[in-house]
Amino acid sequence: MESIETEVLVVGGGATGLGVARDAAMRGFATVLVERKDLAEGTTGRYHGLLHSGGRYAVKDPRAARECAAENAILRRVAADSIEDTGGLFVTTPWDDVTFGDRFLAGCADTGVGVEEIDVADALRREPAVNAGIRRAFLVADASMDAWKLVWACARSAEQHGARILTYRRVVEVLRAADTVAGVVVVDSRSDEEMTIHARMTVNATGAWAGQLAALAGCRPVEVVPGKGIMIAMNHRIVNTVVNRCTMPSDGDIIVPIRTVSVVGTTDSPVADPDQLEVTQAEVDHMLDEGEKLVPGFRHARALRVWAGARPLFGARPPGDDDTRDITRAHALIDHAERDGIGGFVTITGGKATTFRLMAEETVDLVCRALDAGGPRPCRTAVEALPDSEPGAYYSVGSRLARREAHLLDDQLVCECELVSRQTLEEAVERRPTANLDDVRRALRLGMGPCQGGFCTYRATGIFHRLERLDQVTANTALLDFLQERWKGVHPILYGDQLRQARLDDWIYQGLMDVEHLPAVAAAAIGSVA
């Protein structure tokens, strides 16, 4: 069994965990991060892509609103390459109380959320698809944020400062030395090899799974309620501005333009297990109906995909209460030495993707105090830009097309929908060898367009095989696994053009390739390869 030692061990590879790892490494701590799957495969990679202005919580959750407003301004400086400055609108639809706008303005003033009421005519000129019956409109500093770009930029920065990032390592044991956590034992899910990681401080940054890891460490219960939310991506930008209903947060009350699609969200219901997030037809219908209230005709647009994520909501809810919207969206930092008498272990949970940097700063401040760091180690994440964000330029939706047009004749396209070229794919595999096409999807958006992998999956698999990253058996299974993951998010929304697309994909893979009868599929192992 391999054994390594570090000062700070971070468990959890979402935005919060990567933020902690980066901050700790920048402050000079030897740092290791472990994640049971790929980075941003949990909650961070399954949200609607909103960089919050704070407006959504200005009335109901003032602390969360203040945190979002402050961090919005910081992330615009240090993570510009992950952000598209869409701006945001809060509108009063015919179904909303027109007087709530006054409460909204007061809440924004109280929490520091920048807001401006504009004429309805100006709002409709800005977004002509929005319901013409809106009665009030407010501008805020919402934006869209690419969670995967953000997380991988944090990972690159952390590694540049000496951190070690270990994916596909699942914690199976928390090591204890009397009343102190001394590290963990992890198992590599690809090879079944175990590794012992000894650490002076272990940070539980597992989000909706935080209660499970805390229990493994022998701590008293950490009250984290996984709040399920479903989102639906439509195949074009129905709006170019984040559009919210000006009312208390509810289901289907926001549409976020991100990349080339629009995402409507979201529901909010408690689940027992954050790994079991079933999407029901009733939830899909409800989202489409609510989207119709913001944008008439929304229900008839082409839906590309539906998915669900589990919010880590910290706090207990009344027994039998199926509404998790009353649980704060602010974060919680638990020093288990203080609360449980168990040293060397802290939990950071709750919060939003927008506030991940603040959560990391507060966590590493606590780590510094606990480890008696020997003098001030100030946080620099609010001033030091992430890789590729140094110029301070926001992401532009046309940037990938511009890069592609510069090489129309000298580089093949693998994915037409997302303009992923062969060279880009090969470079991604060289940087981070993997036999899991879903890992490549998160890095490059492979298969995320209207065909949902219909034309690019077999091409990418062939390129992997040619590069000797996958043998025949592993390639066959990688192909099927990717198709199955794409199918999960498509089958609840099969109507109209997307149903026709799914039927075409089925003809390609079942009719032409007979993929379900490929040889030795079940024997292959999926994961990173050396």
- Could you write out the DSSP letters of every residue in 464-512? HHHTTSS-HHHHHHHHHHHHHHHHHTTGGG--HHHHHHHHHHHIIIIII
What sections of 79-174 are H helices per DSSP? 100-111, 120-126, 147-160
Superfamily of structural domain 83-143+226-314: D-Amino Acid Oxidase, subunit A, domain 2 (3.30.9.10)
For residue 205, which of 53, 24, 375 has the smallest C-alpha distance? Answer: 24
The reported pLDDT for the residue numbered 529 is: 35
Q: What is the pTM of this model?
A: 0.93
**Identity (one letter) of the amino acid at 230?**
I
The reported pLDDT for the residue numbered 323 is: 58
CA–CA distance, 268 with 122 (Å, rounded to integer): 32
The reported pLDDT for the residue numbered 321 is: 55
H or E stretch including 399?
helix 399-405
For residue 177, which of 342, 6, 335, 29 has the smallest C-alpha distance? Answer: 342
What is the sign, positive or negative, of the torsion defined by CA atoms of 498, 40, 167, 433? positive
The mean of the pLDDT values for the chain is 92
Residue 277's pLDDT band (boundaries 50, 70, 90)?
A: very high
For residue 484, which of 424, 427, 441 has the smallest C-alpha distance? Answer: 441
**Cβ-based burial of 10 (10 A; exposed 0-12, middle 13-18, buried ≥19):** buried
Checking if the pLDDT of 360 tops 80, the result is yes
**For residue range 477-523, what is the model confidence (pLDDT) as tens digits?**
889 889 988 888 998 898 888 899 999 999 999 899 888 888 755 44
Q: Give bridge partners of residue 331 from the DSSP assignment.
A: 350
**For residue range 166-207, what is the model confidence (pLDDT) as tens digits?**
999 999 999 999 999 999 999 999 899 999 999 999 999 999
Q: Which of 287-291, 322-326, 346-350 has the lowest mean pLDDT?
A: 322-326
Question: What percent of the chain is modeled with pLDDT above 70?
Answer: 95
Residue 381's pLDDT band (boundaries 50, 70, 90)?
A: very high
195 C-beta neighbours (distance < 10 Å), count: 17
3-state helix, strand, coil split of the chain in percent (to 5) is: 40, 25, 40
Counted residue by residue, the chain has a size of 530
Where do the structural domains in the chain lie, given as residue ranges?
Answer: 83-143+226-314, 399-523
**For residue range 51-66, what is the model confidence (pLDDT) as tens digits?**
999 999 999 999 999 9
Whether 301 contacts 493, CB under 8 Å: no
**For residue range 220-262, what is the model confidence (pLDDT) as tens digits?**
999 999 999 999 999 999 999 999 999 999 999 999 999 999 9
Orientation angle between helical segments 437-444 and 472-488, nearest 10 degrees:
60
